[in-house]
A and B are shown apart, each in its own frame.
Chain A
């Protein structure tokens, strides 16, 4: 009997021990599962970030057109963050004002079009210029000195402010509304936001530098180097597809006298106004308007024969003739020469030379005239 009791006790003890061991193992397993779940979540988060960043850097890196880049950036951020609206304010050339350049919003709100930049801007950039909430920025005296008009945004209830800075150079602010599901921004959101914004700042700067390299600073038309490069490409294309391509060269009549009489500032004004007329007469993203020299312009017209180019050049000539300059009804005129590939030239050099020759004939024939190159002359 005692032996049986003894056995029962030992058995129950063993069972208790086994239960305790299993319980412990179970707890251990639960802990492992939890860890695994956490690391899966973390992996999921990282793969999501990688997915977004990969495409963000590829997209931002493959565009050089500034306006397009701005739109891509605002769309990208508002969609990835799931916010109701996003505003992109960028500095003007004098670094005095922020202008609203692009916005994305699902509702129509009254956004301020500009914000003045204060004297504290440099100090703020070297201080606390990280991404932060609007409320936090409003308590930061450095920020308020940098952007004295920021309260103009109060009525919109902005949530986040993202400074765009490229190597200590302030480019602008991205301002975001609340998330559509009203949830707060997570650590991960802020991390993504900060990385994409610095990618964007670099892309904006690259696009800006590219613009500066290919465009003349006075007239915003293309520079001669870019003109030759594009003309070369277009001639190759014309050759491949057996299409004509024309070149129109323009020269402002009596420009030296304008400069001598009115001064160089007015001379520049005339260049700007005439460039505007040329640009307005072009097919956007097809024709290539350039400032070729001092007062000389070149217009490349792909897939256009000599007669087509003559019509465009004549339209420009008449528009210049009818325009009033310097706000005092001063009249200016322009002469033009047109040559066409392959009819008048077989190489780039020959095309330029023959358009120039036709231009010279317009000048000789009394100016304010368009002449098509004549192979026999």
Chain B
């Protein structure tokens, strides 16, 4: 374990999106400490792993991104949560930022653009 690396939890229902994000994050020197494919799993892992950063997909089955965000911020109001949204979800993104998400990245992920945003949290 590298104590200097920032620890990330990646939340997305699509395995392929998690693969892409993990690749970008690893190249930026983050440590991936966990993955979750739905909101409930995300909250559980957030509680157990206490990550420095959480990337959170907005559209997920069971519990959507906004509900998950609220639950995470209730556990830690200072949590660093970055929203992953599809283009065309700007209302939801706005809502997430108002709730306390720190930033957002837009799918489909352009590695250069996403890196620009994520490296601020490395």
Contact = CB atoms under 8 A, between A and B. Distances in A.
Contacts of B23: 51, 55
Interface residues of A, number: 24
B51 to A, nearest CB: 22
Interface in A27-79: 44, 47-48, 51-52, 55-56, 59, 71-72, 75-76, 78-79
Interface stretch (B42-50, B75-83, B86-94, B95-103): B86-94
Given A47-B112, A75-B14, A181-B87, A82 B20 contact: no
A109 interface: no
Contact of A182 (B59, B88, B108): B88
B16 A51 contact: no
Contact of B16 (A59, A106, A180, A182): A59
Interface string A95-135: 00000000010100000000000000000000000000000
A55 B88 CA distance: 25
Q: Which bucket holds chain B's interface residue count?
A: 10 to 19
Contacts of A179: 87-88
A44 B14 contact: no
B88 A44 contact: no
A67 to B, nearest CB: 13
B90 to A, nearest CB: 9
Contact of B110 (A44, A55, A82): A44
Interface in B1-35: 13-17, 19-20, 23
A55 B20 CA distance: 7
Nearest to A82: B86
A312 to B, nearest CB: 31
A81 B15 contact: no
Given A55-B20, A56-B16, A76-B14, A47 B111 contact: yes
Contacts of B13: 75
Most buried by A among B16, B59, B107, B110: B16
21 contacts: A44-B110, A48-B108, A51-B23, A55-B20, A59-B16, A72-B16, A75-B14, A75-B17, A78-B14, A79-B16, A79-B17, A79-B107, A80-B108, A82-B86, A82-B88, A106-B59, A179-B88, A180-B87, A180-B89, A181-B87, A183-B87
Given A48-B111, A51-B111, A78-B14, 9 more contacts: A47-B111, A52-B20, A55-B20, A79-B108, A82-B86, A82-B107, A104-B14, A179-B87, A181-B86
